[in-house]
Amino acid sequence: MAEPDIDDIKRRMEGAVSVLDEEFGGLRTGRASASLLDRIVVNAYGSKMPLNQVATVSVPEARLLMVNVWDKGNAQAVDRAIRESDLGLNPATEGQVLRVPIPELSAERREELVKVAHRYAEQARVSVRNVRRDGMDRLKKMEKGGDISQDEQHAWGDEVQQLTDDYVKRIDASLSQKEQEIRQI
């Protein structure tokens, strides 16, 4: 009898959680962090590129980011990408160096960031559920193909559902922690 690849399901669910952690790292909480700009994508050289492939980000002060654009021709595109992000930042361009002051978070802005965090968490939950659906579909195909019995299909299905529940709980805990971090003054 064949067994479903539970390790693959775990790995894919873990991937959804790690993407969420990266996205949460990009949400600012009042202090400057180079990872704040990790999610920004720039239109450069005729395609969309991550900011870290066209510039270097440094943190000279607690409330300031410095973005050193390697090619001066991309400075405007980087400026535009930072302004259009949902981070609420306004860079000041000086040649190929952008100074990005990190303003104090207002109560209104904190609530906006909490909503963004909830959106990221929901995307992670959807990813985990999609992995569950794929796993359940594979189990049904294995049962129809005669690789596993109906009882085994139900048992493996219960295990996949338990994994899904565990990962959704981790996502919710991560969201709760990030929410407290954002709302902390």
pLDDT score at 1: 47
- The model's pLDDT over 120-158, given as tens digits with 9 standing for 90+, comes to 999 999 999 999 999 999 999 988 988 888 898 899 999
Query: Tokens 């720039």 appear where?
Result: 42
The per-residue pLDDT of the chain, averaged, comes to: 87
Looking at residue 71, its pLDDT comes to 87
pTM: 0.70
| CATH code linked to domain 31-101 | 3.30.1360.40
Chosen CATH of 6-23+106-183 out of 1.10.132.20, 3.40.50.720, 2.40.400.10, 1.10.472.10: 1.10.132.20
CB 121, CB 172: distance < 8 Å: yes
User: What whole-number distance in Å separates Cα of residue 23 and Cα of residue 116?
Assistant: 10
